[in-house]
Amino acid sequence: MLRLGSREFGAHEPVIMAIVNRTPDSFYDQGATFQDEPALARVEQAVAEGAAIIDIGGVKAGPGEEVTAQEEARRTVGFVAEVRRRFPDVVISVDTWRADVGAAVCEAGADLLNDAWGGVDPGLAEVAARYKVGLVCTHAGGSRPRTRPHRVTYDDVMADILRVTVGLAERALALGVPRESILIDPGHDFGKNTRHSLEATRRLGEMVETGWPVLVSLSNKDFVGETLDRPVKERVVGTLATTAVSAWLGAQVYRVHEVAETRQVLDMVATIAGHRPPAVARRGLA
């Protein structure tokens, strides 16, 4: 059982986490949801299309202008409070690596801290424990926030992913983060080249076998672009293919831009796997 905020999700229930960037320079939408009203409209649309989690980020992952903790909080804290007011049942996640920002968004109503940089601030897990919220434990290959990988090597990339993510999850549990609210994430593209991310996808079942719920953040990433030689705006098909493979291998939570399309892929895979009945069944029965 995965429990986040007021929501519970069964072992075979795929969960969509919709991305809402509160940044003026995000790599995919170029700041389309930087202002409050477009961002709130995005939340409403995502929930209507089947997202159970809204992931709010105040700093883009890649290099760019410095964003202080104060500015990150300004972009996210008030917005979290407004989403909480308008959508009381949605799970609110905040993508941050900073403990002080994490505490501020938890005070505003966040249910989950999405630590995409692999515990670079150990205090973030302590914040999750203090507020009894969920935590995403990610493998970033030891990278510093907002840096790109350069000639990264691993003897065995999945072994390193397992060592780091399970270690972070066990530390979070020991600190007091609820067991049912901890997820692990292989960290596609973070501290990895394209071949590393492809291998992490191929061997995703090894993460699932740990018993920790697995989150994947695949949406329009560079490993998809390099695999197919497609620019950012032409990576949806590759993303959905990778989503289907990840679902078949047992990942549970999917951080995405395209909610409706992802919902169909996940429903189709779940039905093929026998975890979900067809929405209708008329063929051959009339």
Burial 123-158, CB ≥16 within 10 A → b, else e: ebbbbbbbbebbbbbbbbbebebeeeeeeeeeeebb
CA distance 202 to 125: 29
Contacts of 240 (CB under 8 A, 6+ apart): 258, 261, 262, 265
Please tell me which residue in 221, 233, 282, 283 is annotated as part of the active site.
221
CA pair distance 175, 154, nearest whole angstrom: 29
Q: What is the DSSP letter of 214?
A: B
Side chain identity, residue 154:
Y
Residue where the block lists tokens 């515990």:
119
Tally the C-alpha atoms within 13 A of residue 69's C-alpha that lie toward its C-beta: 10
Rounded to 5 degrees, what are φ and ψ at 252? Answer: -115, -35
Of all residues in the chain, what percent are helix, strand and coil, respectively (each to 5)? 45, 15, 40
The radius of gyration computed from the CA coordinates of the chain, to the nearest angstrom, equals: 18
Q: Report helix, strand or coil for 170.
A: helix
192 counts as catalytic: no
Query: 222 φ, ψ to 5°?
Result: -65, -35
Compute the distance between CA of residue 92 and CA of residue 5 in angstroms, rounded to an integer. Answer: 8
Say whether 221 is catalytic.
Answer: yes
User: Which residues are catalytic, by number?
Assistant: 221, 255
